[in-house]
Amino acid sequence: MKLRLLAFAAVWATTSAVALLAPGCYGRNCEGILETYGTDAGQGRMLSPDIWESSPVDGKWLWFPRQHYFVFDISELGGRTPQMIIPYVSAQEEPRLGGNFTVGAGNMALISNSVPNRVDVRNDTCSDTYLRLVVITGPQPPGVPDAAAPTEADGPDAASGLDAGADADADAAP
């Protein structure tokens, strides 16, 4: 009986020690960080009127460490809701220079809050990677000005199209 009790105590102590000392997402070692991206100049760009990217495919990608939460603020979408969101992940910062990349799936790139001008992406793993996000929207509805197009408020030379011609005709009228 004493031998069984001693064996049970040894197994219990070993199991407890392994659980306490093993690396993993215990305590605060996998605590996440929240970061907003897209509000500062140079953070992302429009590839076309309907496609936005966080970084160039042949450039440096965003550091996407474990439990990192990105809020992508994409005002260039002009109030449109993302229709297709493609997170690419890589182990290298510049994957086109001898590296590789893949489309992020599962907990590696959890997508949420897909609302007008915004999408959130979270690395819900304990692995560190790099991220490139591509967002595709539908075209602007008719009559809604493109967010990137110049307007009258940008100055008299910035406006183009029928309004600029109408202004010139009005100035020429007696």
Domain count, the chain: 1
| pLDDT grade for 145, boundaries at 50, 70 and 90 | low
Q: Where residue 95 sits, what CATH number does that domain have?
A: 2.60.40
pLDDT (0 to 100) of residue 98:
84
pLDDT (0 to 100) of residue 49:
95
Pick 30 or 138 by higher pLDDT.
Answer: 138
- Is it the case that residue 152 has pLDDT exceeding 90? no
pLDDT (0 to 100) of residue 10:
73
- Residue 109's SS3 state is helix
Q: Which two tokens stand for residue 158?
A: 């910035």
Tell me the helix, strand and coil percentages in the chain, rounded to 5: 25, 30, 50
Inside any domain, residue 166: no
Give 22's DSSP letter: S
Inside any domain, residue 56: yes
Range list of H helices, the chain? 2-21, 162-172
Read off the pLDDT of residues 71-109 as tens digits, 9 standing for 90 and up: 999 999 999 999 999 999 999 999 988 889 999 999 999
pLDDT (0 to 100) of residue 113:
94
> What pTM was estimated for this model as a whole?
0.68
Inside any domain, residue 117: yes
pLDDT (0 to 100) of residue 148:
53
**Domain boundaries, position 119:** 28-140
* C-alpha count within 13 angstroms, C-beta hemisphere, residue 103: 6
Cβ burial of 60 (10 Å; 0-12, 13-18, 19+) is middle
Inside any domain, residue 22: no
Pick 131 or 170 by higher pLDDT.
Answer: 131
Inside any domain, residue 159: no
Inside any domain, residue 112: yes
Inside any domain, residue 111: yes
Q: Which two tokens stand for residue 92?
A: 């290298």
Pick 13 or 71 by higher pLDDT.
Answer: 71
- Is it the case that residue 153 has pLDDT exceeding 60? no
